[in-house]
Amino acid sequence: MKVLISVDMEGISGIVHPNETNPDGYDYERGRALMTAEANSVIAGVLDAEPTAVVRVADAHGPFRNLLPEELDRRAHLVRGKPRPLGMLGGLDEGTDAVLLVGYHARAGRGPAVLAHTMNDGILDVRVAGRSMGEIGLNAAMAGHLAVPVVLLSGDDSACTELRDLLPSAVTVAVKEALGQGAAVALHPEEARERLRRAATEAIARRAQVAPLTLAGPLEVEVDLSAPFMVDLATLVPGVSRGEGGRTVTFTAADFAEAYRLVLLLAQLATVKPG
């Protein structure tokens, strides 16, 4: 059996502020330690259910260089660094049996939700076939394109609801209750880790009950960008056109893998500074 654990940072218990998730922040090292500890709990839970499983852990936050390699459970393989194929799902392939999303956050515009955004501050919304999707939906659908189910998600209560709206049978663990963009009522980190370990074991044991999220192509995709100059850049990409208003671009993707790759590219273009 092969499992991919994709670990973001904003949805880790106790984290509520960019100073805890940004490498320039004064509390970033604590955030890294909390992130690594939650990843280890999920690894342990997976291996409690399937002791011989091959476990890959994708560092899926910011620079993709946050998890502490020397502190990570030695039974797992770490996928680290960028750019890389499939972004937050680095290490995913058609031989993977299940994906677990740890420390995830809600999409841009959803709230109350802790540190909600989609990819980065340059993207205001992504709509696939008319449905608004953040990182949770985009990654679940990318896994589904390869016939792999997302069987578990942890984060705040808003993030958990976002996955259940897409995959009602998946296991979710709310490690904090969002009070706003920068505030939450959080579980103690040790309590969160204990719940995550139990939930990961349950999710792997009942993975056959969760169907992959599949979206058949062709797919119409709309991306709202935060500044008009980002639209100017985006429309240099073949197949990307201006949409309604001054902030939206559109394209048609043959399948979800193509849509996912183009959204990743647009997210990268959204970080370019004007001038």
Chain centre to alpha carbon of residue 167:
15
Q: Where are the alpha helices (DSSP H) in the chain?
A: 28-49, 135-145, 157-166, 189-205, 228-234, 256-269
CB-based contacts of 113, cutoff 8 Å, min separation 6:
105, 106, 156, 158, 159, 178, 181
Q: Which residues belong to the active site? A: 117
Q: What angle do CA 60, 66, 67 make, to 5 degrees?
A: 90
Residue 27 backbone class (left: φ over 0; alpha: ψ -120 to 50; beta: rest): alpha
- Give the whole-angstrom CA distance, residue 259 versus residue 256: 5
Q: What angle do CA 13, 160, 174 make, to 5 degrees?
A: 35
